[in-house]
Amino acid sequence: MYVIPDVKQTMFVAGGIASETTAATFIATASAKEVQILAENGAAVPAYGENFFIAYKNVDGTYLRSNTINPFNIKSATVATAITPIPTYSYFDVVISGMAAGDTLEVMTQVYGFGTSSWHQRLNRVVAETFISGDTSATISAKLGITLLESLAKTFESRPGYTVYNKAGYTKIYETQADAFADAAALSTNELIWVIADSKPYFSIDGNKNGSFALSFTEKTDWSSELTAGTAATVLACKYFEVVQLADTSHRLHVICKELVQDDQRKFGYESPVYIGAQWLDKSSSDAKTDIGVTLVKERINPGDGKSLRNWEVAMDKIHRPYGRFEKMGETPVLAIDKTTSYTVLTLVYRATDGNTPHQIGYSENNYHTLFIPFTSSGNAATFLAAIQLTYNIDTPAEVNAKLAALKLNDLADVVITSGTTGDIIQLAADTNWKNVASDT
């Protein structure tokens, strides 16, 4: 069984926990993408205080293992909570109080490190709308929003065709479907909303909060009546940005970085920093500038997002490959991450007791290793975390066993442990039942 070299980060992509409880049986019969925690000698699942390693069968059939880990050299063992990813967005209120004919509203977008080309290191674009007699906050907001979206589309690559810009604005703008559903009862029938995470408009259904988002809202796809009435306009479809506005008295404009988030071309899936500035130029005072406050909301990435983890897996493969994981440097890697899957990631940070680097008390933070284990099942992640915790006594073994009974595993009903002894470990077996590892019962 090949030992991962003395590198600082390793990833085992786990489809499940192996039923095998010794190194010999694991090598003989474990399925691809299964993991198991084994005692240092490979003979059994480790007890409290016993050195151990993590065994893994790779998707290409090779067997890997972590460094040997002294449980008391573990710095942390955690499972990341999945979240709905939210792209970066900025917003500002369009208020015309004090403005007169000839005054100008300007908005600047500044993007750092856009794309993967070095010549795209920083891009600045400014759009402006001049206040004319009869303008209102609503009309200025609509004109500015359309101009801004058109400018972004032309600058940062437009999609073929056109999209609809709602000049009348949206009743509410929510970050996620969950946020919208929580507020559904407060909306009237056919209220237009925008969900930032989906980059889509919806309207509320009669009856409002009806058990789920899908039952409470329907995607808005037909804009013919709004286009005919002039309350909506067709604009260039922008690949990377959305500009949407609220219909309330603030006429707030939101500039949303749409597909920049977790772009497949980026090493670790993070977007480029995007900054928005806005100001009012007073023509009667030689274009004296008044800043309009812009609020920036940074992106939130799901730590288990398959698209981001796939990029991470490729990056770490390049680190591991010189040490022999693949026979030829030019060989195409066999990747385990499915980009369409949302994983639950267990992160284990430890000082190894073997390898090429000495690990001892007093060594710097840089001597810690990190093992990432993305699980396709949140229940398996919780079970494996508990097995690790049993070795180093975050709680006493009996307390950890007691906590296992309260875990919701694989979104099933609560597991109830009717009996057990100190040190017992349970896991999801191949027959889909939760069993005691030692006795297979």
Last residue of a domain, one of 297, 318, 349: 297
Q: Are residues 141 and 274 in the same domain?
A: yes
Specify the range with the lowest mean pLDDT, choosing from 7-21, 191-205, 331-345, 351-365. Answer: 351-365
Higher pLDDT, residue 361 or 171? 171
Give a yes or no: residue 199 inside a domain.
no
Give a yes or no: residue 188 inside a domain.
no
Give a yes or no: residue 376 inside a domain.
yes
pLDDT-derived band at 358 (thresholds 50, 70, 90) equals very low
- Closest alpha carbon to 56 in 336, 366, 396, 394: 336
Is-contact 31 16, C-beta < 8 A? yes
Q: Are residues 340 and 372 in the same domain?
A: yes
DSSP symbols for 292-360: E--EEE--B--TTBHHHHHHHHHHHHHHHGGGTTSSSTTSPP-----TTPBPEEEEEEEEESSSSS---
Q: Are residues 262 and 371 in the same domain?
A: no
Residues 387-401: b if buried by 16+ CB within 10 A, e if exposed? bbbbbbebeebeebb
Look at residue 330 in the predicted model and tell me its pLDDT: 55
Q: Are residues 237 and 370 in the same domain?
A: no
Give a yes or no: residue 225 inside a domain.
no
Give a yes or no: residue 217 inside a domain.
no
Q: Each residue of 80-96: pLDDT tens digit?
A: 877 888 888 999 999 88
Q: Each residue of 185-200: pLDDT tens digit?
A: 999 999 999 999 999 9
Provide the residue range defining the domain that includes 422: 2-82+304-436
CA angle 348, 302, 306 (to 5 degrees): 80
Q: Are residues 28 and 146 in the same domain?
A: no
CB atoms within 10 A of CB 124: 11
Is-contact 57 32, C-beta < 8 A? yes
Distance CA(123)–CA(109), nearest Å, equals 8
CA angle 374, 377, 383 (to 5 degrees): 90
Average pLDDT over residues 332-356: 79
DSSP symbols for 10-61: EE--BSEE-S--SHHHHHHHPPTTEEEEEETTSSS---TT--EEEEEE-TTS
Specify the range with the lowest mean pLDDT, choosing from 116-130, 250-264, 299-313, 314-328. Answer: 314-328
Q: Are residues 118 and 254 in the same domain?
A: yes
Q: Are residues 261 and 374 in the same domain?
A: no
Q: Are residues 146 and 273 in the same domain?
A: yes
Last residue of a domain, one of 247, 276, 297: 297
Give every CB contact of residue 211 below 8 A, 6+ residues apart in sequence.
Answer: none
Average pLDDT over residues 131-146: 90
Domain total of the chain? 2
Give a yes or no: residue 279 inside a domain.
yes
Q: Are residues 260 and 135 in the same domain?
A: yes
Distance CA(309)–CA(55), nearest Å, equals 20
Q: Each residue of 200-237: pLDDT tens digit?
A: 999 999 877 888 999 999 999 999 999 999 999 999 98
pLDDT at residue 356 is higher than 70: no
Integer-rounded Cα Rg, in Å, for the chain is 27
pLDDT-derived band at 411 (thresholds 50, 70, 90) equals very low
Give a yes or no: residue 134 inside a domain.
yes
- Closest alpha carbon to 60 in 336, 414, 428: 336
Look at residue 16 in the predicted model and tell me its pLDDT: 92
Give a yes or no: residue 371 inside a domain.
yes
Q: Are residues 128 and 97 in the same domain?
A: yes
Is-contact 139 150, C-beta < 8 A? no
Report percent pLDDT > 90 for the chain.
36
pLDDT-derived band at 33 (thresholds 50, 70, 90) equals very high
What integer best gives the mean pLDDT of the chain?
80
pLDDT at residue 117 is higher than 60: no
Distance CA(34)–CA(40), nearest Å, equals 18
**Both tokens assigned to 283:** 């023509």
Angle of helix 397-404 versus helix 378-392 axis, rounded to 10: 170
Task: Confirm whether pTM is higher than 0.85.
Answer: no
Average pLDDT over residues 147-170: 88
Last residue of a domain, one of 297, 329, 352: 297
Report percent pLDDT > 70 for the chain.
79
pLDDT-derived band at 116 (thresholds 50, 70, 90) equals very low
Look at residue 119 in the predicted model and tell me its pLDDT: 43
pLDDT at residue 263 is higher than 50: no
Q: Are residues 323 and 393 in the same domain?
A: yes
Q: Are residues 255 and 337 in the same domain?
A: no
